[in-house]
Amino acid sequence: MAELNEILGNERIKEHFITAVHHKKISHAYIMEGDKGSGKKMLAEAFSKILQCEGRETTGLVESCGKCESCIQMEYHDHPDVIWVSHEKPNVISVGEIREQIVNTVEIMPYKGPYKIYIVDEAEKMNAAAQNAILKTIEEPPEYAVIFLLTTNRGAFLDTILSRCILLATRPVPGTAVEKYLVEKCSVSKEEAEFAAGFSLGNIGKAEAIVSSEEFQDLKELTLSILRYIHEIESYEIADKVKEYKKYKNRIEDFFDIFLMWFRDIMLLKADNSVNAEAAKKKIIFKNEYAYLKKQVDKLDLEAIDYVIGKIHRARVRIKSNVNFDATLELLIVEARREF
């Protein structure tokens, strides 16, 4: 696991944690908000490692020593006083799970560390009963208790929980920093790193997943094979292509992101005043597809581009609402083609 000072970006959050340790003012409850892959878990875990480090008592440093028993246990995700709250159902954290894993155990003193730390990932999935169950613990915690609620959407929490937690929001990492990280740590080409940094919009976890996933590369190529010729694709071709997406159902969000980024690039090129292609390419994500994008720029006005982008967002909602998968994708492609 990464040390706090090794984590890329999110300097304000890291500074907040370091200051809290230095002044010995650790909050009992934190809400950490950010997109999936934005580093919430890494930050919570690295901060927990510092809090539980036995070596800090002798060194006096505001960092983990990496050598004591607690640090080693944290490395192996085996520290008895750092509890990752789990849930059985994919879309909900129940009141029973919160009571069993937090409420009924928080009064038991830490086994070895100075703190008993609970990390609740996907905390927005707590239903109202679960949130009310954890509320009393947040309101009247034991001195040693620290609770992290990791979420993509703070709006899912009750106001009473929001008002009693320190809110920390992750931020995108600058593209150049992401590119450097991917080239050095993931051994990818500068071209691949540049695409992943742009496509992920500074989300380091997503960027790393992109360059390491063969499945994503296959999905990307399938989607580009549609987008390059979307202005002239035949209906029977659309139906055939959509059938190929069934094996990528678990990555449907990536499909929508690719589609969205393509039309974002068209919009940028439409508004671009650069006198040469190289200057224009610097502004877009699909740099290798410039020739195809440029052809489509001349066929669309800004209103049509905006319309297609709206349809992409609508298709996302339809999929999340369990509308027929094939029909949703076919309709999106047909609606996009119609604008040319």
Instruction: Give the pLDDT confidence score for residue 275 in this predicted structure.
Output: 60
Residue type, 302: L
48 and 188 belong to one structural domain: no
Asked if 197 and 259 count as a contact pair (C-beta separation under 8 A), the reply is no
User: Could you tell me which of 19, 12, 49, 52 has the C-alpha nearest to residue 34?
Assistant: 12
Which CATH number do you get for residue 132? 3.40.50.300
203 and 150 belong to one structural domain: no
90 and 193 belong to one structural domain: no
pLDDT along the chain (340 residues), means of 10: 90 96 95 95 96 82 88 95 96 97 97 95 97 96 97 96 97 94 93 95 94 96 97 94 94 96 94 71 90 93 96 96 95 96
User: Could you tell me which of 24, 18, 20, 27 has the C-alpha nearest to residue 62?
Assistant: 18
Instruction: Give the pLDDT confidence score for residue 59 in this predicted structure.
Output: 66
Q: Which residue intervals of the chain are DSSP H helices?
A: 11-22, 40-52, 56-59, 69-75, 95-98, 128-139, 159-162, 175-185, 190-199, 204-212, 214-227, 235-244, 252-270, 277-281, 290-297, 302-320, 325-338
Q: What is the pTM of this model?
A: 0.86
24 and 94 belong to one structural domain: yes
Asked if 27 and 20 count as a contact pair (C-beta separation under 8 A), the reply is yes
Asked if 318 and 328 count as a contact pair (C-beta separation under 8 A), the reply is yes
The three-state secondary structure class of 119 is: strand
- DSSP for 138-191, please give it: HHS--TTEEEEEEES-GGGS-HHHHTTSEEEE--PPPHHHHHHHHHHHS---HH
206 and 268 belong to one structural domain: no
Q: Return d(Cα 288, Cα 211) in angstroms, integer.
A: 16
Element (H, E) at 31: strand 29-33
Compute the radius of gyration of the chain from its Cα atoms.
24
Q: Return d(Cα 290, Cα 24) in angstroms, integer.
A: 54
36 and 151 belong to one structural domain: yes
142 and 155 belong to one structural domain: yes
Which CATH number do you get for residue 320? 1.20.272
Strands, sheet with 145-151, edge to edge from the N-terminal-most edge strand: 82-85, 116-120, 145-151, 29-33, 166-169
Range of the domain at 51: 4-169
Q: Return d(Cα 286, Cα 265) in angstroms, integer.
A: 7
Q: Are strands 166-169 and 29-33 parallel, antiparallel or unpaired?
A: parallel
Give residue for tokens 């094939």. 326
Q: Return d(Cα 27, Cα 15) in angstroms, integer.
A: 14
For the chain, the residue count is 340
Domain final residue, candidates 142, 169, 196: 169
Asked if 63 and 54 count as a contact pair (C-beta separation under 8 A), the reply is no
Q: How far apart are the first and last CA of the chain?
A: 49
Asked if 147 and 81 count as a contact pair (C-beta separation under 8 A), the reply is no
234 and 190 belong to one structural domain: no
328 and 283 belong to one structural domain: yes
Cα separation values, 213 from 70, 170, 175, 195, Å? 33, 24, 20, 14
Q: Return d(Cα 23, Cα 42) in angstroms, integer.
A: 22
Instruction: Give the pLDDT confidence score for residue 279 in this predicted structure.
Output: 75
Element (H, E) at 137: helix 128-139
User: Could you tell me which of 128, 124, 171 has the C-alpha nearest to residue 151?
Assistant: 124
The number of folded domains in the chain is 3
**What does residue 46 show for φ and ψ, rounded to 5 degrees?**
-65, -40
178 and 311 belong to one structural domain: no
Q: Return d(Cα 108, Cα 72) in angstroms, integer.
A: 23
38 and 179 belong to one structural domain: no
72 and 14 belong to one structural domain: yes
